[in-house]
C-alpha cells in the first residue's frame, strides 16, 4: 500500500540518494530516482527529497535528467527556494550543443510553477526563439505562454508578441501552430490572436504541411477570419476542400464547422457541405473506436435538427449491435426515431420493438419512448413531441394548474391538425399496437414506460384514446416507479369515464396512500380523483373524502397537504366553481410543453458544433457553462448583487463587496425560499409596488437566469422555457428586515421589451430601489439590457 508507511519509504529513498556508492553506480542511481517518480505517481508526498534530486540533475545521463526535471516541475511550487538551486544547471543546459538537451532544459524551466522564476527564464526563452533547431523553437514558443500564465497580471510584452507574430512565418509547421496557441493565451484579454488577411492566407497555404492536430487547430483559428468578398470566401472554401476528406475525424469536424460558419449567408452551400460530410460521419458512426463513434452520433443528432431527412436512406447504419456499449445504443435509438419516413417506418419500428425487450432497462425504456416519438412525428404532423422528461410536471400548484390547462389546449390543437395526417394515423395505430403488446410481458420498467408514452400520445393523437383506454386495465399491478404511477393516475383521472374500472384502480391507490413514498404521486392522485369525481360522483365521493382527510390531517409533506386543503376549500365553494377551475379551457401556451422541435436553421447550432456541447445533455451543459458559484469558503456572506463590470458573475472582487456588506444597507437573505403556494398567495394579496418596462435583447436561457439570480439570493419560483412566447418568470427574495420582494417578468417579443412588476410585503421605498437595481444588474449582465 503506497499510503501506509510512506514516511519510511521517503526516508529510505533519501538515504539511498545520499549514498555515495549508489551515486557512483549509474544504473542503481537511476533506479532509485525511478522509484521516487513511481511514488510520486501514486500520490505519495516525496517532496522532502527535493535537495537530493536537485543534485541528481547534474548528470550527463539524459534519462536521469528527464526524470529529475519531471520531479522538479511537480514539486517546485512547494519548494521554491530549493528549486532556485536547480536553475543554474538548467541555464547551463540551455546552451548545450545538443538541441535535445537545450529543448528539454528550456521546457522544464518554463514548467517550474513558482514565483520569481520569470526573471531567470526570460533570457533563455528569447534565445530559444532564435535557436537554429526547430525543436528548441517549438519549446520556446510555448514557453512564452507558460511564462505569461505564471504572471497573468503582468503587462503584455509588446516586443515578445511581435516576435511571436513574426515566427508565424517559421519554416517548421509545429512552431507555427505553437505560435498561434501561445499568442491566443497571451492575448486572451484582448480577444486572442488576431487573424488578418495576410496571416489567414499564410495559414491556408501552410495547411498541407501541418499534422492532424495542427490542421484541426488552425481550422479553429480561421473561424475568426471574415473574408472580405464573396470570391475570397469561395477561394478559401476551395482551398480547404481536401480537409473535408482528411483521414482524421478531428480535422473533418473542424473543417465542417469552418465551412458552415464561413457560408452562413449561403444556406445552399451549408446543405452541400453537410451532404459531403455525410460519408465521413457515417464512417465515424460505424467505426470500431467506440468513443469516436459516440462523438459522431452526437453530432449527427445536431445535424438532424436542421435537416431531418438527412440520414434517412442510411437508417440501417443506426441499428444497434448487441455488443456495442450502452451509450452508443442509446444515441442510436435517439437517431433512429428521427429518421423515420414513409418508406422505412416499418423496418425502424420492427427494430425498435426488438430493443424494447432488451436486458438493459434503460435501453428498453428509451426504445419505448422512441416509438412514442415515431408515432407523434409523422410527416404531416408539423410539431414533434416533447420528450417526457422535459415537461414541467405539476409539482407546485401554480404550475400544476397551468399544465393541466395546457394539456387540454394541446388536445384541441391536435384535434384540428389530425385531419391532415392520414399517414400519421397509420403510424400511430401501429405504434399503439406495438406498445399494447409489450404490456403482456408484465415487466415493471416496460409497463411504466409504455404508460408514460400512452399519456403523451393521448394529448397529441387523441384518436388513439380508445385503444389506450382498452389497454390500461391491469397495468397498475406492474408499475412501481413514480413517473409511471403518475402517468397512469393522470390517464385514469382524465379518461376515467371511458375506463370502466377506473374508480376501483384509484381506490387501490387511495387505500395504499399511507405507504406511498412519492409526494408527486399523491398530488397527481388528488387531482385525478377530483376530476373523476366530476364525471362519476357516485363511485368516487367516499374515497375522495377519505383521501382529502388523509392529506389534510396526516400527510407530512407540505405541498401535498396544501393541495389537499386547496381542493377541500374549492369543493366548499360548490361544484360549479370546481368545474370552472378544473376544466377551464383557458390556456397559457407560454409554458411550452411542446419543446421547440421545429426545424432549426443550421446557424443556430453551428457555433456549438465540434465542441463539448453536443456531447453533454442540455441540462448538464447548462450547469457547466453557468457561471461558477463562489468558492465555498465557510459561510457564504450574503450576496448583495455586486457585479464586476466585466460581466463576470463570479463575485470574486471582495474589496467591492466588503464595504457594502458593512454598511448593511441592503442584504438579501440566502434562504428566503418560498414555496410556489406561498408565493401565489402572497402575490395575490399584494399590490404592485413598482412597474417598469425596459428593452430586452436576445433569448434568455432559463438555467442561466436561474443560476445567476440564485447567486444574489433571488429565488426562482417559476420560469417558462427558452424561446416560448410570451416568456414569463417569477422570482422571490427576502431582505434582512424580513421584507419580501415578489417579481414578475413578462417578455413581449414584438416590441422586444420586458415588463417588470415588483410587489413588496412592507412598503420601504429605499429597499425596493436597491432590490430593483440588483435585479436589473443581474439580468442586464445576462441579456445585455441597455439601461
Site for another protein in 129-148 (CB under 8 A): 132-135, 138-139, 142, 145-146
Of positions 18, 194, 419, 441, contacts another protein by CB under 8 A: 441
Chain residues 406-425 in contact with another protein, contact rule CB under 8 A: none
Q: Provide the 10 A C-beta neighbour count for residue 527.
A: 20
Ranges within 223-252 binding another protein (CB under 8 A): 241-242, 245-250, 252
Q: Which helix (H) or strand (E) holds 413?
A: helix 397-418
Residues 304-333, mask of contacts with another protein (x by CB under 8 A): ------------xx-x-xxxxxxx------
CA atoms within 13 A on the CB side of 618: 13
Query: Residue 427 burial by CB count (10 A; 0-12/13-18/19+): exposed, middle or buried?
Result: buried
Q: Which is nearer to another protein, 354 or 692 (CB)?
A: 354
Distance, CA of 355 to chain centre: 27
Distance separating alpha carbons of residues 432 and 375, to the nearest angstrom: 8
Smallest separation, CB 363 to another protein (Å): 11
Smaller CB distance to another protein: residue 344 or 644? 344
Position 169 contacts another protein (CB under 8 A): no
Of 221, 123, 214, 201, which is closest to residue 172 (Cα–Cα)?
A: 214
- The nearer residue to another protein, 292 or 669, going by C-beta atoms, is 292
- Comparing CB distances to another protein, the nearer of 242 and 470 is 242
Closest CB to another protein among residues 20, 97? 97
Is 153 a binding residue for another protein by CB under 8 A? The answer is: no
Indicate the DSSP class of residue 649: -
DSSP-based three-state secondary structure for 717: strand
Kindly state whether residue 121 participates in binding another protein, applying the rule CB under 8 A.
Answer: no
Q: Find out whether 214 and 173 touch, Cβ atoms under 8 Å.
A: yes
Q: Are the C-beta atoms of 691 and 757 separated by less than 8 Å?
A: yes
Question: Which residues between 333 and 362 bind another protein (CB under 8 A)?
Answer: 351, 354, 357-359
**Footprint of another protein on 617-676 (CB under 8 A):** 620, 624, 628
- Provide, rounded to whole angstroms, the least separation between the CB of residue 209 and another protein: 7
Binding mask of the shown chain, residues 258 to 297, with x at each position contacting another protein by CB under 8 A: ---------------------xx-xxx-xxxxxxx-xxx-
As measured in angstroms, the least distance from the Cβ of 65 to another protein is 8
Judged by DSSP in three states, 287 sits in coil
* Nearest residue (CB) to another protein, 17 versus 489: 17
User: How far apart are the C-alpha atoms of 413 and 430, rounded to whole Å?
Assistant: 22
Q: How deeply is 106 buried, as exposed, middle or buried, from its count of CB atoms within 10 A (0-12, 13-18, 19+)?
A: buried
CB 270 within 8 A of CB 260: yes
Q: 518: which DSSP letter?
A: -
Toward another protein, which CB reaches closer, 170 or 677? Answer: 170
Question: Contact, 564 vs 558, CB < 8 A?
Answer: no
Q: How far apart are CA 102 and CA 91, in angstroms?
A: 9
Pairing of strands 715-719, 688-695: unpaired
* Number of residues forming the site for another protein (CB under 8 A): 104
Gyration radius from the chain CA atoms: 33
Which residues, numbered 733-762, are part of the site for another protein (CB under 8 A)? none
Write the secondary structure of 654-694 as one string of H (helix), E (strand) and C (coil): HHHHHHHHHHCCCCECCCCCCCHHHHHHHHHHCCEEEEEEE
> 235 or 613, CB closer to another protein?
613
Residue 116 within binding range of another protein, rule CB under 8 A: no
Q: Does 449 bind another protein (CB under 8 A)?
A: no
| 610 is a contact residue toward another protein (CB under 8 A) | yes
Please report whether residue 780 would count as binding another protein according to CB under 8 A.
no
Cell of 504: 376501483
Pick the closer one to another protein by CB: 314 or 546.
314
Q: At closest approach, how far in Å is the CB of 423 from another protein?
A: 24
Shortest distance in whole angstroms from residue 319 CB to another protein? 5
CB 65 within 8 A of CB 50: no
> Segment 53-92, which members bind another protein (CB under 8 A)?
60-64, 66-67, 70, 74
| Residues 689-728 close enough to bind another protein by CB under 8 A | none
Nine cell digits for residue 29:
542511481
Question: Which residues inside 36-55 make contact with another protein, applying CB under 8 A?
Answer: 37-38, 41-43
From the list 381-389, 555-563, 616-624, 720-728, the region that binds another protein by CB under 8 A is 616-624
178 or 402: CB nearest another protein: 178
Amino acid at each position: 500500500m503506497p499510503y501506509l508507511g510512506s514516511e519510511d519509504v521517503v526516508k529510505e529513498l533519501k538515504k539511498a540518494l545520499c549514498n555515495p556508492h549508489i551515486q557512483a553506480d549509474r544504473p542503481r542511481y537511476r533506479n532509485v530516482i525511478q522509484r521516487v517518480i513511481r511514488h510520486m505517481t501514486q500520490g505519495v508526498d516525496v517532496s522532502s527529497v527535493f535537495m537530493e534530486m536537485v543534485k541528481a540533475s547534474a548528470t550527463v545521463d539524459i534519462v536521469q535528467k528527464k526524470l529529475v526535471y519531471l520531479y522538479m516541475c511537480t514539486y517546485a511550487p512547494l519548494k521554491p527556494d530549493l528549486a532556485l538551486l536547480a536553475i543554474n544547471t538548467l541555464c547551463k543546459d540551455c546552451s548545450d550543443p545538443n538541441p535535445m538537451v537545450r529543448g528539454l532544459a528550456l521546457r522544464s524551466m518554463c514548467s517550474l510553477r513558482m514565483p520569481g522564476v520569470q526573471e531567470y527564464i526570460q533570457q533563455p526563452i528569447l534565445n530559444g526563439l532564435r535557436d537554429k533547431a526547430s525543436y528548441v523553437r517549438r519549446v520556446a514558443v510555448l514557453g512564452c505562454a507558460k511564462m505569461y500564465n505564471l504572471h497573468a497580471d503582468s503587462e503584455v510584452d509588446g516586443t515578445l508578441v511581435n516576435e511571436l507574430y513574426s515566427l508565424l512565418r517559421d519554416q517548421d509547421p509545429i512552431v507555427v501552430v505553437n505560435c498561434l496557441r501561445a499568442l491566443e493565451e497571451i492575448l486572451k484579454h484582448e480577444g486572442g490572436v488576431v487573424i488578418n488577411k495576410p496571416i489567414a492566407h499564410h495559414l491556408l497555404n501552410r495547411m498541407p504541411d501541418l499534422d492532424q492536430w495542427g490542421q484541426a487547430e488552425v481550422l479553429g483559428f480561421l473561424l475568426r477570419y471574415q473574408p472580405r468578398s464573396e470570391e475570397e470566401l469561395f477561394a478559401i472554401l476551395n482551398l480547404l476542400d481536401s480537409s473535408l476528406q482528411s483521414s482524421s475525424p478531428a480535422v473533418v469536424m473542424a473543417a465542417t464547422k469552418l465551412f458552415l460558419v464561413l457560408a452562413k449567408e449561403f444556406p445552399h452551400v451549408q446543405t452541400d457541405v453537410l451532404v459531403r460530410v455525410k460519408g465521413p460521419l457515417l464512417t465515424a458512426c460505424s467505426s470500431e473506436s467506440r468513443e469516436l463513434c459516440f462523438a459522431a452520433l452526437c453530432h449527427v443528432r445536431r445535424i438532424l435538427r436542421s435537416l431531418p431527412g438527412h440520414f434517412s436512406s442510411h437508417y440501417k447504419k443506426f441499428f444497434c449491435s448487441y455488443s456495442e456499449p450502452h451509450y452508443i445504443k442509446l444515441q442510436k435509438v435517439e437517431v433512429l426515431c428521427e429518421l423515420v419516413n414513409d418508406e422505412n417506418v416499418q423496418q425502424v419500428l420492427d427494430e425498435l420493438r426488438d430493443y424494447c425487450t432488451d436486458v438493459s432497462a434503460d435501453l428498453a425504456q428509451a426504445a419505448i419512448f422512441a416509438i412514442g416519438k415515431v408515432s407523434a412525428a409523422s410527416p404531416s404532423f408539423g410539431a414533434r413531441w416533447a420528450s417526457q422528461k422535459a415537461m414541467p410536471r405539476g409539482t407546485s400548484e401554480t404550475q400544476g394548474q397551468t399544465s393541466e390547462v395546457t394539456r387540454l389546449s394541446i388536445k384541441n390543437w391536435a384535434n384540428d391538425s389530425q385531419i391532415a395526417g392520414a399517414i400519421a394515423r397509420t403510424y400511430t395505430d401501429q405504434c399503439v399496437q406495438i406498445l399494447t403488446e409489450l404490456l403482456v410481458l408484465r415487466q415493471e420498467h416496460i409497463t411504466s414506460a409504455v404508460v408514460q408514452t400512452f399519456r403523451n400520445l393521448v394529448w397529441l393523437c387523441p384518436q388513439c384514446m380508445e385503444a389506450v383506454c382498452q389497454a390500461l386495465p391491469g397495468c397498475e399491478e406492474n408499475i412501481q416507479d413514480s413517473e409511471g404511477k403518475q402517468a397512469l393516475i393522470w390517464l385514469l383521472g382524465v379518461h376515467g369515464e371511458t375506463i370502466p374500472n377506473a374508480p376501483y384502480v384509484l381506490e387501490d391507490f387511495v387505500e395504499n396512500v399511507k405507504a406511498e413514498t412519492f409526494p408527486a404521486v399523491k398530488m397527481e392522485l388528488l387531482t385525478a380523483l377530483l376530476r373523476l369525481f366530476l364525471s362519476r360522483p357516485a363511485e368516487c365521493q367516499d374515497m375522495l373524502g377519505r383521501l382529502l382527510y388523509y392529506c389534510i390531517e396526516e400527510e407530512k409533506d407540505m405541498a401535498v397537504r396544501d393541495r389537499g386543503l386547496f381542493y377541500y376549500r374549492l369543493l366548499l365553494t360548490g361544484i360549479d366553481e370546481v368545474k370552472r377551475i378544473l376544466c377551464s379551457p383557458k390556456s397559457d401556451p407560454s409554458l411550452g410543453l411542446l419543446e421547440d422541435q421545429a426545424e432549426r436553421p443550421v446557424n443556430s447550432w453551428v457555433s456549438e458544433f465540434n465542441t463539448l456541447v453536443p456531447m453533454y445533455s442540455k441540462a448538464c451543459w447548462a450547469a457547466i457553462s453557468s457561471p461558477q458559484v463562489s468558492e465555498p469558503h465557510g459561510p457564504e456572506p450574503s450576496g448583495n448583487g455586486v457585479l464586476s463590470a466585466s460581466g463576470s458573475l463570479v463575485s470574486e472582487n471582495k474589496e467591492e463587496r466588503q464595504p457594502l456588506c458593512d454598511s448593511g444597507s441592503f442584504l438579501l437573505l440566502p434562504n428566503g425560499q418560498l414555496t410556489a403556494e406561498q408565493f401565489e398567495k402572497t402575490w395575490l394579496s399584494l399590490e404592485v409596488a413598482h412597474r417598469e418596462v425596459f428593452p430586452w435583447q436576445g433569448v434568455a436561457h432559463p438555467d442561466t437566469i436561474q443560476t445567476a439570480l440564485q447567486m444574489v439570493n433571488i429565488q426562482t419560483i417559476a420560469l417558462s422555457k427558452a424561446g416560448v412566447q410570451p416568456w414569463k418568470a417569477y422570482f422571490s427574495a427576502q431582505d434582512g428586515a424580513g421584507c419580501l420582494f415578489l417579481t414578475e417578468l413578462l417578455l413581449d417579443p414584438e416590441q422586444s421589451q420586458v415588463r417588470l412588476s415588483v410587489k413588496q410585503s412592507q412598503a420601504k421605498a429605499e429597499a425596493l430601489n436597491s432590490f430593483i437595481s440588483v435585479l436589473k444588474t443581474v439580468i442586464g449582465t445576462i441579456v445585455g439590457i441597455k439601461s
